[in-house]
Chains A and B, each alone.
Chain A
Amino acid sequence: MASPKAPSEKLIARRAAKIVMNKAAIDALYAGMADGLIELGNKIIADASERAPKDAAAAAARGVPMLNDTGHISVWGQGKLVYGSSQVAAAKNRPRGVRAAKDEIIMIAAFGSPIAHLQELGTIKMPAHPFLTPALMANISNAGPYVTGAMSRYAATASTRALRGSGINAARAAAKAAKAEGIG
C-alpha cells in the first residue's frame, strides 16, 4: 500500500511531471528577468548619456569618442554573458571586482571612457559631475515593472508553449497507438 515513505508509481509520476513543468517555468523566469534588466540598463545608459558632459571639440582634438557615446551594458546570467556589447563579448570577462554567481542575474551599466570615473567622482582640481549615479537612482525605483513585465511575458509564452507541446505529444502518442493497432 502506498504511504508517504513509499509513494505509489502514479504519485511519483505526478511529482516528476510537476518538477519538469517548474523547471521550464524557472528557465522562462530567468530569461524574462534578463530581458527586463536589458531594458532597464538601456534606459539607465540613455538617461546617463543625456546627463554626461558633451564636448565634441575636445574629444575630436584628443581623437577619442565623446564620453556620452561610450555607455554600454552587459547582462550575466548563471555565470555566463547573456547580453553585452561586442567589446564585452570579445573580452569575455566582467569588470574587475564583479562576481556573477551561478544563481544570479546581474546587469552592469558602464561607460568605457577613461575619464568617466573622474567626471563622476571628481578630482583634486575638479568637483564631481555625477551623471551615472543620478541616472541609476532616477530609474532604480521603477525597476520592478521592467523585470516583472518581461517575466510575465516569458511565463505566458512558456505556459502557451507547454500547452502546445503537451497537445502535440498527445496527438503523436495517439497516432503512434493507432498505427500500432493498424499493424496489429
Chain B
Amino acid sequence: MSLADPTGKLLTDIRDDATVAALVSGRVRAGEAAPGDALGAGHWQAFVVLARLGHSRSPHAPTQAVRYVARCYAATHQGATALAAAVSDAIHAKGRRISGGGVSIFGSFDDGGGGSDKDPDTDQPVEYLFIDVGALTSLIP
C-alpha cells in the first residue's frame, strides 16, 4: 500500500483561499518555482512555493505527520510577511477534509515562521512558514 501524499490537497487549500488568491493570482507551486514566477529586481511578483520537508508515520495507527515549508515571496518584506499571514490563515487549525482523490487530512497547523530573508540568487524578499499536517496514510475510496 502506498503512502498517501497530502501535498496536493494542502496546495489546493492554499491556492483556493480568497486572500491568498488576491495576493498571488494562483501562483502557488509545489516543490519549486515555475518559469516566469521569479522576475528581476523591480519586477518582483508574489508567489508561494510549498516544499515537503519530511514525514513521520505512526507505528500504532494509519496516520502520518507531514511537515512543510511555505516559501512566501513578494516584492517587499512587508508583502512577504502579509502573504505568509494569509497562507497561515488559509491552513491554520483547519479540520478534516478529503480531496477528490481520497487523500484525507484531519488537521493542519501553522507551526511558526522561520522569519524573513532574501533569496540568495535574486535578492527577492521571502518569508518562511512551517506547516504541520496530520493525514491518513491510505486513500479513502
Contacts and interface: CB of A to CB of B under 8 A. Distances in A.
Instruction: Report if A and B associate in a common complex.
Output: yes
B121 A123 contact: yes
How big is chain B's contact interface, by range? 20 to 34
Contact of B53 (A125, A126, A130, A141): A130
B51 A128 contact: yes
A124 B119 contact: yes
Given A133-B67, A137-B65, A138-B56, A124 B124 contact: yes
B51 A122 contact: yes
Contacts of A118: 120
Interface in A95-141: 96-97, 117-118, 120-128, 130, 133-134, 136-138, 140-141
A134 B54 contact: yes
B71 interface: yes
B114 A137 contact: no
B38 A133 contact: no
A126 B32 CA distance: 7
A133 B54 contact: yes
Contact of A127 (B32, B65, B67, B114): B32
Query: For the complex, would chain B's binding face be called helix, strand, loop or mixed by DSSP majority?
Result: strand
Interface string B108-141: 0000001101011110100010000000000000
Contact of B69 (A126, A128, A134, A141): A128
A125 B121 contact: yes
A123 B119 contact: yes
Nearest to A142: B59
Interface residues of A, number: 21
Contacts of B67: 133, 137
Nearest to A139: B56
A174 to B, nearest CB: 55
B56 A124 contact: no
A97 B37 CA distance: 31
B121 A137 contact: no
B49 interface: yes
Given A97-B115, A137-B65, A124 B54 contact: no
7 contacts: A118-B120, A121-B51, A121-B53, A122-B49, A127-B31, A140-B56, A141-B59
Interface of A: 96-97, 117-118, 120-128, 130, 133-134, 136-138, 140-141
Q: 9 tightest CB-CB pairs across the interface, nearest first? A: A133-B53, A134-B54, A128-B51, A137-B56, A133-B54, A137-B54, A127-B32, A130-B53, A124-B38
Interface of B: 31-33, 37-38, 49, 51-56, 58-59, 65, 67, 69, 71, 73, 114-115, 117, 119-122, 124, 128
Given A125-B38, A138-B56, 16 more contacts: A121-B51, A121-B128, A123-B120, A124-B33, A124-B49, A124-B121, A127-B32, A128-B53, A130-B53, A134-B53, A134-B54, A137-B56, A138-B54, A140-B56, A141-B58, A141-B59
